[in-house]
Amino acid sequence: MIGRRDAQVSYFDAQRLPHRVPDSSFYARMGAIIDLLFSDEDLEMMYCADTGRPSLPPSLMCGVLLLQFYDDASDQEAAERVLFDLRWKVALHLPLDYAGFERSSLSKFRKRLLEHGQERYAFDRFVAVGREAGFIPDRVTLLTDTTNVKGAGAVQDTYTLLRKGIRKLLREAGFHLPGKRQGLSTQGKQLVARYVDQDRRADIDWSDPQERRTELKTLVEDAEAALELITEQSDDAEVRSIGWLLTKILGDDVVIDDQGDPQIGEGTAPDRIISMTDPEMRHGRKSKSKCINGFKFIGSMEQSHELLLDIGDMTAMGSDGAELMATIERVEANAKVSVDRVIGDGAFGSGKNRAACANHDPHPVDLVSPLARPWDPEVGKSAFQIDLEARRATCPQGHTAEGRAVPPGDGGPPTLRFVFPRTTCETCPLFARCVKSKSRGRSVTTHPHEAYLQSARQRQQTEEFDELYRLRPAIERKIAELVSHGIRRTRYIGEPKRQLQRLWIGAAVNLKRLFKLAQDKSVDLQSIPYTWRQGQVCPIAA
């Protein structure tokens, strides 16, 4: 049953007594509006109407959660700060003798938010305030960027992945219980005892290649035996999911040599699992020289008043721009705005994104993103004049070649390939720089969205593009602010929990920004009523 905050003011109320928390601080400003900031009625659907003991008030728990992410505190530290930190008592409007609660109450409250789809509650609430206050216009320019995020699990090598995978599979199947082992063969009981009753690294000389190969062979054989055992013993979906992970590790990391022995494969599989603790973690890159282990997140901010409109979870693999269109759709759906323009770095400027933005419904989105400079401007692809309608390309020296259609490899639009005669190229003064083939002349292949790329290259040479692109660094500062509140350290395992953490950090950053905007523009947010998505009309103060 839902518990509600007591309207009776305590004699020991922290706000009523003299204190040294500055009025201009985030805590004092939050404390001035805490009674309006979150509403118990907004979240009453998460609780039974008439059964059970009253819960901790959800409005109080939302305030604690917001402060926890603002100060990057653990559950234990948050529970202690509610008891002992005067700043938190002022922010939450609590009496000095407040009895507090157990740290597990926070994890239970987060779980309740996720179960009822309310992980966006605070973030969307503050965006709605920004809309009603006039800080977020109906048609917005988005500044967008991504950054890397550490996963919640440890990065593990192949030996550890196999050992932990076998153990996790057998325990999930119930073999840690003595009764489950009845009926197993002697070999099966030994397998279970080796991985379930013990969980320690093999005591070998890890600097000896032969001993490592022997250990790998043992692990592979035991993994195959565990998978065979589970196939016979269990039909549980979760068990089979872990079995699939173990099979994938074998397929990605292990190869069989000519003698039939397992070896660690060379290179890295694109979708390689790197942790059995958090199986969703992946290797990725932010640049050619910077490898990351974990995830990425994409943040999008309204340009004029610098309020965050979206924070999204991303896999570490692939391009940073892969989630651009999904981000635009989320912003339009959740913030109730229309995205007119997106400004992002070169990772967002792919031909696919440009085509999708140009054909976005209900109106096109102007994508401002630079294209990479050619390695040699005089002979790069951009130096060739390509007429797509006439299917003709003209090289920098004025020679032409007719294009032929190249069938698309992935079902996308067809491309054109232009091949210049070798004899013509050999007489050209740019031959040594332009032609790399030993037997053919220069060839140029168009992109499936070549027309959009050509238009982007032309626009990139204009002052208008430079003026717009100068706005982009503001999102880097905003992401740095999010990082200072702990967004780069993933606390939880699983995409919904990761997203909750990022959204509540974003909500704290947005609330701080709302306080600043209200002060600078002399806007009284307290007088602004706005309609929450469940239909209530709630005021909020600055």
For the purposes of burial, counting CB atoms within 10 Å of the CB of 3, is it exposed (0-12), middle (13-18) or buried (19 or more)? Answer: middle
Q: Which residues of 429-454 are buried (b: 16+ CB within 10 A; e: fewer)?
A: ebbeebbeeeeebbebebbbbbbbbb
Burial status of residue 384 (CB atoms within 10 A of its CB: 0-12, 13-18, 19 or more) = middle
Residue 533 has what pLDDT?
Answer: 39
Mean pLDDT of all residues belonging to the chain: 89
Residue 142 vs residues 12, 180, 500: alpha-carbon distances, Å: 46, 56, 22
Rounded CA-CA distance 540/125 in Å is: 10
Q: How confident is the model at residue 54 (pLDDT cuts 50, 70, 90)?
A: confident
List of residues 6+ apart from 258 with CB closer than 8 A: none
> Do 284 and 316 touch, CB atoms closer than 8 A?
yes
Residue percentage of the chain with pLDDT more than 90: 66
What average pLDDT does this structure show over 450-470?
94
- Decide if 16 contacts 80 (C-beta within 8 A): no
Residue 103, both tokens:
């740290």
Give the rounded distance of the alpha carbon of 292 from its chain centre.
13
Tokens 């043992």, residue located: 218
What's the pLDDT score for residue 526?
61
Rounded Cα–Cα distance for residues 395 and 427 (Å):
13
Ranges of beta strands (E only) in 407-494 are 415-419, 443-445
Measured between alpha carbons, how far is 467 from 495 in angstroms, rounded to an integer?
37
Burial of 207 (0-12, 13-18, 19+ CB in 10 A): exposed
> Predicted confidence band at 8 (pLDDT cuts at 50, 70, 90)?
low
Residues 6+ apart with CB under 8 A from 370: 345, 346, 349, 460, 469
pLDDT at site 295 = 95
Let me know: does 533 contact 513? Beta carbons within 8 Å: no
Supply the angle between the helices 450-459 and 351-358 in degrees, to the nearest 10: 90
Is the per-residue pLDDT at 305 higher than 90? yes
Within 10 A of 93 (CB to CB), how many other CB atoms are there? 22
Per-residue pLDDT, 33: 85
What the block records as the tokens of 51 is: 């059964």
pTM: 0.90
Nearest to 405, CA basis, from 448, 375, 349: 448
Percent of the chain at pLDDT above 70? Answer: 94
pLDDT over threshold 50, residue 125: yes
pLDDT-based confidence at residue 538 (cuts at 50, 70, 90): very low
Beta bridge partners of 294: 150, 282
**How is residue 37 written in tokens?**
């900031």
For residue 225, pLDDT over 60 is answered with yes
Q: Containing H/E element for 290? A: strand 290-302
Distance CA 223, CA 229 (A): 10
Q: Averaging pLDDT over each range in 180-194, 218-232, 516-530, which range is the top one?
A: 218-232
Q: Which tens digits make up the pLDDT trace of 429-455?
A: 999 999 989 889 999 999 999 999 999
Name the range with the highest mean pLDDT among 10-19, 286-295, 462-471. Answer: 462-471
Both tokens of residue 3?
A: 């518990």
Task: Report the distance separating Cα 280 and Cα 350, nearest Å.
Answer: 26
